[in-house]
């Protein structure tokens, strides 16, 4: 059974190469993501390669093997199931669950994960719109674009929030930008990308930076 440290590395690599599973994650990018020194990351990548969990080449980076990908998806599945469970059964808010799930994702057994999944009626997404991998490692992928790419007069639905910072989530909830909500793009400032939008008849503004962290589908 992988250690917590190993699982955290595999999960971080998975997220960094999510847009292109065949790409290699640079050691520097991984060190920045995990806030760990470069030498420590290099040593761990060599160890993970020895266990068959990653393919690693010095100066070129690492990518998950099939075995490593399965292990990463298992942890991600646990994390997202826990988030749904906390929101739906223990009345957590969506800005509180990420930190709790980070601690619990390594502790639950496969049996407990399956029972949570069944109890929740097999949810496909967590509270932030992140897809929940199945026990077989299948994962649904949105055909979505960043809100920052949307154009005036478009109507879009929020599918996923990529930022897990509690203060960001609280702000999004305050203005009504949560998964499944439909919004209309009123205008976009050409010089800084600020967006003017309408949510349930109420107008709001969103910075280009924040809009880039929201994934939407056009209606």
Predicted confidence (pLDDT) per residue in 24-44, tens digit: 999 999 999 999 999 999 999
Specify the residue for token string 């879009």. Answer: 156
Task: Check pLDDT > 90 for residue 89.
Answer: yes
**What does the pLDDT look like over 43-82, one tens digit per residue?**
999 999 999 999 999 989 999 999 999 999 999 999 999 9
**Using CA atoms, how far apart are residues 140 and 148, in angstroms rounded to an integer?**
22
pLDDT band with cut points at 50, 70 and 90 for residue 13: very high
pLDDT of residue 131 exceeding 80, the answer is: yes
pLDDT at 23: 86
pLDDT band (50, 70, 90) for residue 21: confident
Distance, CA of 108 to CA of 80 (rounded, Å): 12
pLDDT digit string, tens, across residues 134-169 = 999 999 887 899 999 999 999 999 999 999 999 999
pTM: 0.92
Domains of the chain: 4-64 (1.10.10.10), 145-218 (2.30.30.90)
Instruction: Kindly report the average pLDDT of the chain as a whole number.
Output: 94
Greatest CA span in the chain, whole angstroms? 57
């Amino acid at each position: 059974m992988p250690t917590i440290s190993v699982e955290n590395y595999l999960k971080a690599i998975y997220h960094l190469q999510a847009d292109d599973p065949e790409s290699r994650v640079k050691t520097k990018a991984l060190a920045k993501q995990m806030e760990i020194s470069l030498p420590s990351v290099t040593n761990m990548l060599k160890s993970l390669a020895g266990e068959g969990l990653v393919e690693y080449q010095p100066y070129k980076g690492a990518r998950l093997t099939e075995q490593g990908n399965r292990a990463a998806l298992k942890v991600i599945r646990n994390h997202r199931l826990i988030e749904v469970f906390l929101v739906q059964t223990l009345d957590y808010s969506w800005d509180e669950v990420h930190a709790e799930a980070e601690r619990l994702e390594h502790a639950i057994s496969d049996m407990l994960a399956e029972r949570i999944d069944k109890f929740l009626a097999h949810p496909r997404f967590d509270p932030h719109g992140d897809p929940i991998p199945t026990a077989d490692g299948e994962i649904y992928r949105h055909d979505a674009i960043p809100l920052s790419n949307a154009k005036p007069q478009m109507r879009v639905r929020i599918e996923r929030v990529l930022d897990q910072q509690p203060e960001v989530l609280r702000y999004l909830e305050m203005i009504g930008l949560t998964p499944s909500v439909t919004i209309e793009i009123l205008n976009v400032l050409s010089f800084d990308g600020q967006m003017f939008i309408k949510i349930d008849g109420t107008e709001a503004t969103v910075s280009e930076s924040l809009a880039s962290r929201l994934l939407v589908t056009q209606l």
